[in-house]
Amino acid sequence: MISILMKNIFFYKRNWKELLLNTLRIYLSVVPFYYFALAQSNDIENLRFTLLTIIIAGIISNTVIAANYELYQEIISGKMSNFRIANVKIFEYILAQTVFYFFIYLIQYVFVLILMNVYGIIYIKISSYALLNAAIFIVIIIAISSIISGLLAAFTLKTKRFAYSSLLISILLIFSACYMPYRLLKSGFKIVALLLPFTYIINIFKSAFSADYLIFPIEIMYLILMVQILVLRFILVKILSRFFNELINSTI
């Protein structure tokens, strides 16, 4: 297990630019959704809940997918026999990869929060109570990530396919899509938002099974794409409209 961790550490020590680019990607994914939540409600508790949800979903999904992708790479490269030679168990391998990538993504998300605090997007208060909650939070998320990684690793080993790891992303999107209509009850966007969970359910079946098993008319595929684009467009409009309104108010 220690050897696996050291191998990953030396790899990213040589490829530190990849970590910087991934941190930028996380920053560009967290900030827009935070502003979208801010446009929906100015309540502090709602904003904290939204930000915490984004962080938890991001850390778990990225950790699980990275750990299972490493396992998949070992499978297709034929290096699984090296595990038996080195007396490394699959359980130890998955646990080591999960713990390593968890802390990699945790550090990146913490760095993103620090940047958001520096630029005045959020305000972070450090206290002993907050540090205790953070420690408990880390233990719980590591446990959840390890369980999910183990389940997906079993599917990956059984099927020799990496597609099952994308199930987690689709499941998270279903929950977020189901939550969205309740936040948009007063808008005309409700019908489109209500269709969103079904588009991600279809994505789950497409990921879990071969595309040959699911043959949809081209009209349905266009409908799925249109619904998802409309939702993204709505979020983008909310963000831009709030930005330009603040810009106009500050210049008048």
Residue-wise pLDDT for 74-131, tens only, equals: 777 776 655 554 556 778 888 888 888 899 889 888 888 888 888 877 777 777 777 7
Report if pTM > 0.85: no
Give the Cα separation of 165 and 142 in Å (integer). 17
CA atoms within 13 A on the CB side of 41: 14
- Is pLDDT of 26 > 60? yes
Residue tagged 């994914």 (tokens): 29
Average pLDDT of 146-174?
68
Task: Describe the crossing of helices 128-159 and 90-118 by its angle, rounded to 10 degrees.
Answer: 140
* b/e sequence 41-76, b meaning 16+ C-beta within 10 Å: eeeeeebeebbebbbbbbbbbbbbbbbbebbbebee
78: left (phi over 0), alpha (psi -120 to 50) or beta: left
pLDDT of residue 140: 85
pLDDT of residue 252: 47
Asked if 56 and 140 count as a contact pair (C-beta separation under 8 A), the reply is no
Backbone angles phi, psi at 51, to 5 degrees: -65, -40
Average pLDDT of 167-196?
54
Contacts of 215 (CB under 8 A, 6+ apart): none
The one-letter amino acid code at 134 reads: A
- In which band, very low, low, confident or very high, does the pLDDT at 213 lie, cut at 50, 70 and 90? very low
Asked if 190 and 181 count as a contact pair (C-beta separation under 8 A), the reply is yes
111: left (phi over 0), alpha (psi -120 to 50) or beta: alpha
Give the Cα separation of 68 and 95 in Å (integer). 11
pLDDT of residue 68: 82
Q: Which range, of 41-45, 116-120, 138-142, averages the lowest pLDDT? A: 41-45
